[in-house]
Amino acid sequence: MRRAALALAGLAVAGAAAALPASLPRHGEADAACIATVISNGAPFYGTAGELDAADVGGRAGTGIVPGCNDVIVIGPGAPPPEPDTTVRLRRITGVAPRFAVATRFGGGAFLAMVRDGVPCTGLAPDAVLACLRATTRRFLRGPALIAPIGAPAGGTIRVAVRLPGRPPAPPTGPLVLRTEPAPGAVAGPLVRSGGSVVLPDVPPGEYRLVALVGSGGDARGVTARITIH
């Protein structure tokens, strides 16, 4: 990852990486800029302060929504119309699972890494962010890990599985709970389970964690998966 040629704004959002403005202030408005944000599968991803090299950009990863930049204070008459949401194409980052980060372009510029909110690879230099994302992916693929969608509607049905080292993913056999963020969080309502199918409770939109217990006795441990409920 190389440094961005543009002047990037070092903004921090809910533990996300330093991000760049997705839109500049308009004439007649107070200084304001929106953080580079993409919504993918209902979950927020935030921009990092650096461009990706061509070798770091992989295949297609679907599409995402860039929220309109409307968080501004209008000064004087002639307020502009609200900026609409836009759809962008997403790409994979080499060696990184798209549940943790994806790449996209803003305004036809260079590809930027967009990191899922809550992934513990923020506040680092651009090259260190990539190294952290790849290490996080390797741990996820090796297991133990909880596999779940990154986003789902309240009251919706999702599929979950536990990946243990050397074994194929399988439905969790132990307890499974939904907790609020940040950790440790409170239990957020009952889950209705049938094998690997889970019905989410009707909870307010926000960030949550699914927590499953794997192993037994002294080897028991919890594995988690962050999920955005919308």
Summarised one tens digit per residue, pLDDT across range 169-214 is: 999 988 899 999 988 889 998 899 998 999 999 999 999 999 998 8
Q: Residue 135: left if φ>0, alpha if ψ -120 to 50, beta else—which one?
A: alpha
Residues 180, 186 contacting (CB under 8 angstroms): yes
186 burial type by CB count under 10 A (0-12 exposed, 13-18 middle, 19+ buried): exposed
* Domain limit, last residue, from 114, 142, 170: 142
174: nearest Cα among 207, 223, 228, 208: 223
Q: Do residues 184 and 198 share a domain? A: yes
Based on the fold, state whether residues 112 and 177 are members of the same structural domain.
no
The pair of structure tokens assigned to 114 is 């967009």
The predicted model gives 72-97 an average pLDDT of: 83
Structure tokens at 164: 């243990």
Least confident range of 18-22, 63-67, 104-108, 189-193: 18-22
Residue 16 lies in a domain: no
**In this structure, are 180 and 122 located in the same domain?**
no
What SS3 state is found at 23? strand
Residue 89 sits in the same domain as residue 109: yes
Q: Note the pTM of the prediction, 2 decimals.
A: 0.81
**Sole residue written with tokens 């760049």:** 20
Q: What pLDDT is recorded for position 218? A: 63
Expressed as residue numbers, the domain containing 223 is 145-229
